[in-house]
Structure 1
Amino acid sequence: MADKEATVYIIDVGKSMGQKDQGRESTNLEWSMQYVWDKITTTVATGRKTAGVGVLGLRTDETDNMMGEEEGYEHISIFQPIQQTMMSDLKYLRDTIKPSKTRKGDALSALIVATQMIVLHCKRLKYIRKIVLVTDGLGQMDDDDAAPITGKIKEECIELLILGVDFDDAEFGFKEENKDPVKKANEKVLQEICEECDGTFATMALAIKERVGVPEVKKTRPVNSYKGLLTLGNPEKYDTAMCIDIERYPKVMVASAPTASSHVQGSGSAIPGPSAQSSATIQDGKESHQNGLVAVRNARTYVVDDPDAPGGKRDVEIEETEKGFAYGGTVVPVSTSDMDVINLETIATMDIIGFVDGGLYEPYMSMSKSNLIIARKADDKAAMALSSLIHAMFERETYAVARFVPKDKKAPVLLLLAPCIDTDNGLEYLVDVELPFAEDVRHYVFPPLDRVVTVGRKKLIQHRNLPSEGLLQAMSDYVDAMDISTFGEDDEGNPTEYARMEEAFSPKLHRINQALKFRAVNETDEVPPPWESIIRYSNPPTKLLEQAQAAIDDVIRTSDIKKVPPKQKGRKRGRVIDKPLSGLDVDELLGREKRAKISDENAIPEFKQLLATIEEMDEVKKAMDQMGAIVRQFIERSVGDSGYNRALEMMRVMKEEMTDFEFPDLYNEFVRDLKRKILKGELGQGRDEMWYKIRTTRLGLIDSKTSDVSDVTPEEAFEFSKQKL
């Protein structure tokens, strides 16, 4: 279970925050809110009810806080109390956080209000407490109460973070020239408060650089997937059997991107304001709306053929169904009572069934995420026993193979247990991965790469398909030139590894999260391009490519690579007929006549040859008519479905050629006529299966998505393929 959190963001919305300083195109408030929105939307994305967020406005036009109109607390307003933040809250805050018309408001008083908000919300319970103050330091402050404020913050164990707009930072390398004396004095007071509270004081530019545009790695609290015994031998029969109380936790897991859900336009929408309800909830049998959308819910029905029922189908309840398993071409029903007999009766356990040499294990055999196994907490006997096993396996360079059942009546799996000793942190544990059973392994035989075996079983080490010594050396030099193990630089400029694991982020996961965060607070603007940190390693660095250019040129020269002419696409009407690279017209040299008729024995090549020699649309139509007649002939004369595949291949070529020639209407006319003839039985009775094959192989109409000159929309093409006459 994650820790409870309570964070209060104090946002300075004074009149001065509406200015554009330091040559920025956005106001100081908009620029600062990049950081705040990123932090808040990250919290919203977790969906945790225990992650409370409060927002407090400083230097607001109105006054709305628990201190009322007391002196020193004017122009401080609570925009949102500490609570779970929803999408509707984000929209409310986005519309509320605007530059005010006043310069009055004390930042230290705002710290007192924020502290009081946390005290009232958290009481004496265990919370991670945090206050983030964002200000430009231009408001008047009474620093007489600085000492009591720092004392209360430290007493409540609150983490304080103060981010200033254009505050001086020597380490970051920024200093504001001609600084306002009020801002300079306030900046000094805030820094002293931070140092007294062991907090963090920084300029906003540094926070935006280090936080915005850099994905945040999610920290999760591990939850054990198994608590039980690790055994070697049968403890029920032998006293010498080994039994160790262990716990199993995830070590490395795949981070999956958030999934999308289907919604439709609803009849109403939620009233803007804080704490509106999610659109996925249901109250009193009615779905609540948000953003005018309603969640789509799926309903499944089961039907069987019944000639006596209306429409020939009858609905059945799921309780009336039974599971069936395919056995060849037959379905074998298995009742629920029979399933209890089939299921293997197992109990949760982890039994070591043998040991293997660590050098014989191939990494490609791992089938799952990795987990770590430690001794049961606060059990010294188990810790000593597991440590002995780990050290014995480590010294012998041995892995263990274990039969693992995570829960009672679950199917067993095989695990490989590897010892791991972390001397730096003083940790000892076993790492496990799932192993394949014999049925999971697929054996594929590939020809060797260093020799050619002839039909007569003769082995050749020199062949045109084998690389020469010069090519092998050139490729080796190219691989060395592209080495990134020392291409990077550390903070001191020394060579280090490039694309370290800690800096390589999943583009899919974090790009989706980036888009979601942006759209959550901005419904109109275009989603910005991916962060540079996400796509940094999508392509090799330019400097490295320049260094390796000589090596790749040597590979090209040694291997005698020649560029293949690109395949011509989108041939136009009245095009120039392609000529061979040699410039010779083979048909003219051989004195052959231009083909005018297509034979059914060699239809596809002759069809392509005919299209290559004609230029007028009438001639293309005649060629299509000939091919259409041959296709219908194969369907009509087919014994069963023996001629269907040849007809489908001809249709595929016809569709491709008419797409390239930009004559989709000719093909669409042919397909419409073919469908009518098939479904009306004009090509023989029982030919409906041919139309089913045409649908499944996507040989229906050419739509506008496939060809720009087609008048058929994708929706019309889809409806045409599924509808009957």
Structure 2
Amino acid sequence: MADKEATVYIVDMGSSMADCHNGRIESNLDWGMRYVWDRISTTVAASRKTWNVGVVGVGTDETDNPLEEGEGYEHISVLQELGPMTMSSLGALRDRVKTSDTQIGDCISAVVLAIEMIEKLTKKLKYNRRIILVTDGEAPMDSSDIDDIAEKLKRSAIQLIVLGVDFDDADFGFKEEDKSSIKEQNEETLRELVEKCDGMYGTMAEAIAELETPRIKTVKPYKTYDGLLTLGDPNVHEDAMAINVERYFKTHKAAVPPASRVVMKTDSNGDASGTMENADDDEMQGVEPTPSFSAVKDARTYKVIDPKAIGGKRDVDFAELAKGYEYGRTAVHISESEFNITKIETVKCFSIYEPFLNMGETGMTIAQKFNDAAALKLSSLIHSLHELESYAVARIVIKDGKEPALILLAPHIEPDFECLYDVPLPFAEDVRNYPFPPLDKVITVHGNTITENHRNLPSKELQDAMNDYVDAMDISSWEMDDEGPALHRINQVVRHRATYPNEPIPPVAAILLKYANPPEDLVARAKSDLEDLIDKASVKKVPPKATAKKDKGEKPKPISGLDIDALLRQPENKRVTIDPNKAISDFKQKMEASDDHAEAEDAIKQMGAIIRDIITKSFGDQDYERAIEHIGVMRDTAIEFEYPDLFNSFIKDFKGRLLSGEFNGDRRVLWWNIKRFKLGLIDSKASEQSKVTAEEAAEFLKK
């Protein structure tokens, strides 16, 4: 497939294209241009200099084309010469595409003009040549030479695609009633031309409908490795195997197009400028120069702490810096010479080792082209692995100096094609083993094994109900997309904004939303299975959780019938003293069981004393995390039960004691941790009962 393309779009701009038909609220031209703009903007986004686009207008008020001296080429204008398409030319073209005041313009003559444009550019070179005609068929056409034109299209390998506005299409299921006789005749003429040149003919409604469907992007094979595949070391062992192979991507992640940072250009007076500043290619970061945008330029400065410098910091040059790697909370620096020692000196190779999970993209290894000996050797290896039902583990270095990777090679055999598929293997650090109890049995503390009649084991009825529901919700027969919905949506929005910069973003296409929810008919069909599953599993609603003190009297009745809160509120069960060894749970229980402000205040005071004791007895910062956890629980509980004043009183007192050195020395670093976790005053945003403003809370943490 040629990588060069030459596409000419012929757009009917006659006066009839300004009409709105079949219940549409946009003109025939705007509706048809939806398809054209989508195709052109896709070409612009690809940024391929070898993809050429030309646009010819038919039925224009003026005549502007190389064949205008000939008869039948009146009111045909070249709106865009055949060549690379850019954002600037897209904007200029958008302003020129509009309906005219005439209905004269021959689409057949425009096809001849498009053929001349393509042949002039492509000559005898290898190109994908294409002409796309968009018309409503209301203007007269000269059909006397369609046989010669069809032969010319076939001889020049040009594909003709005709998309008619409200054209009849039995395959798509559309037929326009009460159409004019000239349109009916033109449809027959264009259909005959397309059939004779083996082109494509369809109605515009079908083309518009297909715009929402994600497109499969066809890419050229990309070679990732070209060299020897070895089994053993040929330099050491005479019987070692060495095969000349080539490795290509089989699957590759489609990346979302990157966003470039741009700013509105300004002149020296601070006003918006209409000229483009000079900028290096690297600075533009792939942004096409435009009159109103300029690339963002980065400037970095590096500072180090220096008490002797003004402000306590001084600037340093980047060359004076050393690389630092975070180890816990410590920065460990490694010089360039030391860093080079840690790098593995690798040599390009692809060698099989004496087996795991697909961790990334898939590769495909084939024999070197035009090397029959290598093809025979690789075929022998592939068939050996296939017959033994085995895989091979290989080490690959794409090129000298690259990091090595371990891959798993799997044989693949078709009648006329053989290869080795490969997937990367994880390193030991990538493998995570999570132990889970068995699902089909319960092992008691005494070592006994129970396989049925246990609360943690599903009954046979529940298993059958789950099997039926899973079978009913099987979506394997539903259509799957080869390109991700998120990627397609971003590309769709970018193309729309490039074409219509001032219009709102279009809604998400319905075909993409089907991935967000299961199909409605499938859910309806599986409803009875779901109800049966709910019944067998005894699924019940969980009562809502009380979130504040005022809700305590409105709690729903527990499912078990045992009201733990009522038991804890009884005088004989109320916890008087909080145990320091289980302070958090005791504190929460005491706050839950408190009936008035005095009891909550007592719980806060006890918790505060425990926190101060933890810090005083801490060896260095050993128990700081424990103290931070206690303060966080106290703050969250005070917000939950609407006692922000009690916590605020505690934290103010705590800060004064901490900064004065009351807790067995200088422990001001703890206050830095409190600031980091934002455990300061409870402001009115966090609790409506607080009288502290957000500004006061922020100032309290700063000082």
Deviations 1:366-390 (A, max 9, x none): 3231101011111122112211221
Q: Is the Cα–Cα contact under 8 Å of residues 598 and 626 in structure 1 kept in the other structure?
A: no
Compute the displacement of 1:694 (Å).
3.4
SS of residue paired to 2:144? helix
- How far, CA to CA, are the matches of 1:318 and 1:68 in structure 2? 64
CA distance 1:241–1:632, shift in 2 (3 Å): closer
- How far, CA to CA, are the matches of 2:37 and 2:46 in structure 1? 14
Compute the displacement of 1:516 (Å).
1.9
* Pairing 1:468–2:456 present: no
Q: Is the Cα–Cα contact under 8 Å of residues 325 and 333 in structure 2 kept in the other structure?
A: yes
* Pairing 1:381–2:373 present: yes
Q: What aligned pairs does 1:119-518 form with structure 2 within 5 A after superposition?
A: 119-209=119-209, 211-267=210-266, 290=290, 292-323=292-323, 334-354=334-354, 362=356, 365-423=357-415, 426-462=416-452, 463-485=454-476, 497-500=477-480, 503=481, 505-518=483-496
SS of residue paired to 1:140? coil
Deviations 1:261-314 (A, max 9, x none): 444444276869xxx9999957899x9874844443444444433333333334
The equivalent residue for 1:531 is 509
CA distance 1:69–1:235, shift in 2 (3 Å): same
Q: Is the Cα–Cα contact under 8 Å of residues 671 and 701 in structure 1 kept in the other structure?
A: no
Compute the displacement of 1:474 (Å).
2.4
Q: Is the Cα–Cα contact under 8 Å of residues 304 and 314 in structure 1 kept in the other structure?
A: yes
Compute the displacement of 1:137 (Å).
0.7
Compute the displacement of 1:5 (Å).
1.4
Does 96-105 or 454-463 show the bigger shift?
454-463
The equivalent residue for 1:30 is 30
Does 526-535 or 622-631 show the bigger shift?
622-631
Compute the displacement of 1:418 (Å).
1.0
Q: What aligned pairs does 1:590-609 form with structure 2 within 5 A after superposition?
A: 591-592=570-571, 602=583
Q: Is the Cα–Cα contact under 8 Å of residues 230 and 349 in structure 1 kept in the other structure?
A: yes
The equivalent residue for 1:520 is 498
SS of residue paired to 1:225? strand
Q: Is the Cα–Cα contact under 8 Å of residues 274 and 291 in structure 2 kept in the other structure?
A: no
Compute the displacement of 1:17 (Å).
1.1
Compute the displacement of 1:247 (Å).
0.4
Compute the displacement of 1:173 (Å).
1.9
Compute the displacement of 1:482 (Å).
2.8
Deviations 1:334-392 (A, max 9, x none): 443444444333321112233xxxxxx55xx2323110101111112211221122122
Does 440-449 or 316-325 show the bigger shift?
316-325
Q: Is the Cα–Cα contact under 8 Å of residues 638 and 647 in structure 2 kept in the other structure?
A: no
Compute the displacement of 1:673 (Å).
5.7
- How far, CA to CA, are the matches of 1:314 and 1:655 in structure 2? 40
CA distance 1:282–1:403, shift in 2 (3 Å): closer
SS of residue paired to 2:7? strand
The equivalent residue for 2:107 is 107
CA distance 1:599–1:325, shift in 2 (3 Å): closer
Compute the displacement of 1:214 (Å).
0.2
Q: Is the Cα–Cα contact under 8 Å of residues 279 and 290 in structure 1 kept in the other structure?
A: no
- How far, CA to CA, are the matches of 1:89 and 1:13 in structure 2? 19
Q: Is the Cα–Cα contact under 8 Å of residues 604 and 646 in structure 2 kept in the other structure?
A: no
Compute the displacement of 1:429 (Å).
0.6
- How far, CA to CA, are the matches of 1:339 and 1:542 in structure 2? 58
CA distance 1:452–1:162, shift in 2 (3 Å): same
For 1:530, the aligned partner's letter is V
Compute the displacement of 1:250 (Å).
0.3
SS of residue paired to 2:351? strand
Deviations 1:427-480 (A, max 9, x none): 111111122333443333222222223333333334322222332232223223
SS of residue paired to 1:144? coil
- How far, CA to CA, are the matches of 1:409 and 1:638 in structure 2? 54
The equivalent residue for 1:493 is none
- How far, CA to CA, are the matches of 2:555 and 2:312 in structure 1? 58
* Pairing 1:578–2:532 present: no
SS of residue paired to 1:143? coil
- How far, CA to CA, are the matches of 2:647 and 2:10 in structure 1? 65
Aligned residues: 691
Compute the displacement of 1:254 (Å).
1.7
Does 589-598 or 640-649 show the bigger shift?
589-598
Q: Is the Cα–Cα contact under 8 Å of residues 61 and 101 in structure 1 kept in the other structure?
A: yes
- How far, CA to CA, are the matches of 1:225 and 1:139 in structure 2? 54
CA distance 1:177–1:330, shift in 2 (3 Å): closer
Q: Is the Cα–Cα contact under 8 Å of residues 278 and 290 in structure 1 kept in the other structure?
A: no
Compute the displacement of 1:325 (Å).
5.8
Compute the displacement of 1:538 (Å).
3.1
Deviations 1:27-72 (A, max 9, x none): 2122212211221222222222222222222212233333356543
Compute the displacement of 1:213 (Å).
0.8
CA distance 1:328–1:556, shift in 2 (3 Å): closer
Q: Is the Cα–Cα contact under 8 Å of residues 280 and 294 in structure 1 kept in the other structure?
A: no
Which runs of no fewer than 5 residues in structure 1 stay unpaired? Answer: 355-360, 486-496
Q: What aligned pairs does 1:685-724 form with structure 2 within 5 A after superposition?
A: 686-699=666-679, 720=698, 724=702
- How far, CA to CA, are the matches of 1:623 and 1:306 in structure 2? 48
Q: Is the Cα–Cα contact under 8 Å of residues 54 and 81 in structure 1 kept in the other structure?
A: yes
2:544 to 563, 566, 570: 566
**What is the identity percentage for the equivalent residue pairs of Structure 1 and Structure 2?**
43
SS of residue paired to 2:49? coil
- How far, CA to CA, are the matches of 1:636 and 1:98 in structure 2? 77
- How far, CA to CA, are the matches of 1:701 and 1:298 in structure 2? 39
CA distance 1:556–1:5, shift in 2 (3 Å): same
Q: Is the Cα–Cα contact under 8 Å of residues 63 and 76 in structure 2 kept in the other structure?
A: yes
Compute the displacement of 1:690 (Å).
3.2
Deviations 1:83-129 (A, max 9, x none): 33333433333333222222122212222232232233333332212
CA distance 1:324–1:645, shift in 2 (3 Å): closer
TM-score by length of 2: 0.84
The equivalent residue for 1:553 is 531
- How far, CA to CA, are the matches of 2:102 and 2:283 in structure 1? 43
For 1:475, the aligned partner's letter is M
Which runs of no fewer than 5 residues in structure 2 stay unpaired? Answer: none
- How far, CA to CA, are the matches of 1:75 and 1:262 in structure 2? 43
The equivalent residue for 1:10 is 10
- How far, CA to CA, are the matches of 2:650 and 2:217 in structure 1? 54
- How far, CA to CA, are the matches of 1:121 and 1:708 in structure 2? 73
Q: Is the Cα–Cα contact under 8 Å of residues 636 and 683 in structure 1 kept in the other structure?
A: no
Q: CA RMSD in A?
A: 4.3
For 2:440, the aligned partner's letter is D
SS of residue paired to 1:544? helix
Compute the displacement of 1:697 (Å).
3.2
- How far, CA to CA, are the matches of 1:701 and 1:86 in structure 2? 56
CA distance 1:193–1:321, shift in 2 (3 Å): same
